[in-house]
Amino acid sequence: MKKFLKILLIIVLVIVVAVGGLFGFLTVTEFKPADVEAADTVGDSTAELLPISASDGDFAILSWNIGYAGLGAASDFFMDGGTHSMAADKAAVNGYLEGIRTVCAGDYDFIMLQEVDRKSTRTYKVDEAEALARGNSVFALNFSCPFVPNPNTLIIEPIGKVNSGLLTCSSRSIAKAERISLPCPFSWPLRVANLKRCLLVSYIPIEGSEKQLVLVNLHLEAYDSGEGKIAQTRQLREFIKAEYDKGNYVIAGGDFNQVFPGSLELYPNGHPDLWLPGELDESLLPEGEGWKYAYDSTTPTCRLLNQPYDPSDTENTQHYVIDGFILSPNVELKNAETLDLGFANSDHNPVLINVSLK
């Protein structure tokens, strides 16, 4: 009995030391971006300026959380009630990525993507940002960690190394771009291997005007108690209001992880025990008349990853409308459409808007 207890004690000490060493390593290597950082623009420096004349027509913006090309129709995810923490294999990643590239090859003036991996373990080292870049592109990390343990099993079946973030592509010139940090709702030790959310802001010069189009690419908190989403949404509101007060045109779009007004009536949450999104309402828009949400609730923008996608299984299939845009009063919305791709290559459908500047 004494020998057994001694061996058991040694095993426990080894586990404690290993876990302590892991979190010590993650603490030392924690991703700690500054409040504001420059984001380099890569691409065509000779691109034309954005025209403002109505005779030049509307322009199109596509927003899409691509689920790091690892969360297509055949996938589930452990944080949503599934079992997996990474893509099935590299062939699956390349297949999903090719489908995403095909969609992004459409005639869009601007593309704002979320969950874009760069040489991460979970996506078999594929540089998705490089594969999807077009025109002028800017990238900002919002998740960077040398080793992400699986929260359910720690070092067994880990998520591994992750570098992931936001990618904005523009067919027009970009004057500058910045990564603006958002509040992180997590404390140590959860914070060290967690996302550090941000806004990726691109300033688009306008032909014949001192004003700029301010594009804000965003992916707000998902797996928090709700306070993180609220704090991040408030900072977003303050930022876009400040840019509009400067005289600029502002379009903020992406994955809000909060359902848009009225959409819960169309897609009631039947799985509150698995994941609950926040809720957007008019109070979260900046003060003043004319601010508006732009979204399409006739088609869901996201599905729950509790199982591979099976729309015929209505009992276990959960949809949401959590992707869309906020437009400043001087931006006119012409059309908003969720592209129904059947969640073939991502757990999100892309959202397309056509707008013009007043």
Can you give the pLDDT at residue 44?
A: 77
Can you give the pLDDT at residue 17?
A: 63
Q: Single out the residue of 120, 127, 119, 128 nearest to residue 99, CA to CA.
A: 128
Average pLDDT over residues 115-119: 97
Q: Where are the alpha helices (DSSP H) in the chain?
A: 2-28, 90-104, 128-132, 227-245, 263-266
For 313-328, what is each residue's pLDDT tens digit? 999 999 999 999 999 9
Can you give the pLDDT at residue 24?
A: 79
Residue 191 has pLDDT above 60, yes or no: yes
Residue 43 gets the label, from left (phi > 0), alpha (psi -120 to 50) or beta, of left
Q: Is the dihedral of CA 197, 170, 116, 296 positive or negative?
A: positive
Lowest mean pLDDT among 31-40, 156-165, 283-292: 156-165
According to CATH, the topology of domain 31-357 is Deoxyribonuclease I; Chain A (3.60.10)
For 139-153, what is each residue's pLDDT tens digit? 999 999 999 987 766
Q: Where are the domains of the chain?
A: 31-357
Q: Single out the residue of 136, 145, 128, 147 nearest to residue 175, CA to CA.
A: 136
Query: What whole-number distance in Å separates Cα of residue 270 and Cα of residue 313?
Result: 13
Query: What whole-number distance in Å separates Cα of residue 170 and Cα of residue 61?
Result: 9
Query: What whole-number distance in Å separates Cα of residue 132 and Cα of residue 101?
Result: 6
pTM of model > 0.75: yes
SS3 content of the chain, % helix, strand, coil (to 5): 25, 30, 45
Average pLDDT over residues 158-168: 94
**SS3 call for 24:** helix
Q: Is the dihedral of CA 280, 100, 327, 211 positive or negative?
A: positive
**SS3 call for 137:** strand
Query: What whole-number distance in Å separates Cα of residue 320 and Cα of residue 336?
Result: 16
Task: Identify the band that residue 158 occupies on the pLDDT scale cut at 50, 70 and 90.
Answer: confident
